[in-house]
Each structure stands twice: as structure tokens, then as C-alpha cells.
Amino acid sequence: MQDRQEHNPDEQGRIHLQSDCERCFGLCCVALPFASSTDFAIDKDGGTPCRHLQSDFRCGVHTSLRQRGMRGCTVYECFGAGQMVSQITYNGRDWRQAPETAKEMFDVFPIMRQLHELLWYLNEALSLQPAHDIHPDLRSSLEATRRLTQRPPASLLRLDVAAHRAEVNQLLLRTSELVRDDARQKHKGPPVRQKIGGRGADLIGAKLKGADLRYANLRGAYLIAADLRGADLRAADLIGADFRDADLRGANLTNSLFLTQFQVNAAKGDANTRIPSTLSRPAHWTP
């Protein structure tokens, strides 16, 4: 629907913005807290290793997480922050080898994840041709964010991540407006009468089966358990939208904006759900 550059200007960079658990020290299994709920069968404090974490930093029950009530683990995506902290920030020295670095490493990890998530969005924005007028600003922001990821731990801990996110978000919002306006102008057929959506919209449990949500602004929308079967979400801005248990069976999300693996993993889908080529179809989706 919208034009994307044939070759992503930083395709290799995007590959590194995906989780590589083989190169990580099990940081998400240690640093992050979770509480007993529909997503987790047990409570765990932040900084405490999960009981299933093995000595090689692999999960001992990885193939049966959902059956054991640990589906939250199958949803999580760190955007490559785990291997970045493990291999670059701490030079491959893990928290067991150097226990004095453990707390600092666990505190650095969520900061790095936020920065890597921004890198993911900026890379996508640079692949969108309708936003070419602001590509120089996007590249500048991308490089600035990369430089932040290369800071030493103490500097990362002092970083005002919220302020940096706010700056980047202005560019991402402008990108969204340019791309969605371009898609509307190129639209052939009857006008799309968009009455659903809006930033932060409360659509929890909404009945949106077959809905035409093209070009919608669904930034930060609450789509928890929404029925989106067969919905058309092409060119919709989905940054930060909460898709937990949303039913996306048969939905079309190709060319949607700023959709992440984390969001896709949290939803329900099937073989007829169409997602961007940069994302993987979750193993728990139905055939």
C-alpha cells in the first residue's frame, strides 16, 4: 500500500535488532520481574534468576513454556538488547563470572532494550519512501541512538531515556502522517470512512471483525482481546498498540506501521494472518 524502499538502508542493522538468545546471558530471565498471572505461573523478583534458567543461560523448559503457564516468556522480545549488553557493553563477561557487575548489568538491560526498540522503529521509518523528505533527520536520530547504545554502563544508567524517546517519537509521528497521507491519496475505490481509532483508544474487547482500519491512528491503542478477525490494518499506525489476546485470524497487517514481534507474539493468529515480511509468524498461532 505504501512504498517501501526495495532495499532497507540498514538491513543488516535490523537483523541485529532481533533476539539472539545464544549470545545473551539470559538477561530477560534474570533482570525482569514477573508476577503470577495468566502470563506467568510463578512470581519472580527482578534480579533473581528464573528457576528454569540453566547454567548455560538457556531455558530448561523452552519447548513447553505455554503448557507450563509461562506464555509471557514466549511473547517477550528484547530487540537484540540482550546480546548487545552481554557481548558489547560487558565484553562477553557474564554476571556469574563477575557477580560484582550483576546488578549494574540487570539495570542496564531494560535501558538498552528501549534504545534498541527505537532503532527498530527508525530503521523502518527509513525504509518508507513517502517519508523521504525527513530521511536526513531520521538518519541523524538513528546515529544518535546508536551512539547512546555504545556508552559504558555508568553513562547508560544516567541517560534520560524518556526524553530521548520523546524526541524520536516526534520524527516517528511525522513519518506516520506522511506515509498514511500518501496511502490515502493513492487509494483507489470508495472513500474509507474511518471512525475507529485515535491515539490511546480504548478498544478492549472491541468487536471489529472485518473492520476497515486502513490508515487508522492506533498509536498506543488498547486492543486487548479485540476481535480483529479479517480486519484490514494496512497502513495503520500500530506503534505501542496493545495486542494481548487480540484475535488477528485472517487479518491483513502487511504494510502496517511500526508493528513489532512483541505485539505479534502477544496476539492470536493463523495461517491466513498477513504480517510484515520483517516479522516471524509465532509458533503458537493456529495453522
CA-derived radius of gyration, the chain: 19
Rounded average pLDDT over 34-61: 95
CB atoms under 10 Å from CB of 271, counted, come to 11
Pick from 185, 179, 83: nearest CA to 128? 179
Closest to 82 (Cα-Cα) out of 146, 147, 24, 16: 24
Average pLDDT over residues 183-198: 75
Torsion of CA 245, 249, 255, 260, to 10 degrees: 30
Domain 190-287 grouped into CATH 3.30.70: no
Q: What is the pLDDT of residue 14?
A: 67
The pLDDT value given to residue 7: 41
Rounded mean pLDDT, 79-108 = 97
At 287 the pLDDT is 86
Distances in Å between the Cα of 190 and the Cα atoms of 25, 186, 212, 226, 228 are 53, 12, 12, 26, 22
* pLDDT tens figures, 135-163: 999 999 999 999 999 999 999 999 999 99
Among 4-18, 59-73, 253-267, the minimum mean pLDDT is found in 4-18
pLDDT value at residue 6:
40
What pLDDT is stored for residue 3 in this prediction?
57
Q: What is the pLDDT of residue 222?
A: 97
Stretch 252-263: mean pLDDT, rounded? 97
Confidence of residue 33 (pLDDT cuts 50, 70, 90): very high
**Average pLDDT over every residue of 77-87:** 97
Q: Residue 269 has what pLDDT?
A: 98
Confidence of residue 4 (pLDDT cuts 50, 70, 90): low
- Average pLDDT in the 86-115 region? 97
Identify the sign of the CA torsion 266, 270, 272, 276: positive
Residue pointed to by grid coordinates 499506525: 237
Average pLDDT of every residue of the chain: 93
Compute the average pLDDT of residues 48-69: 95
**pTM here?**
0.92
Judge whether residue 39 has pLDDT over 70: yes
Domain ranges of the chain: 11-32+76-182, 190-287
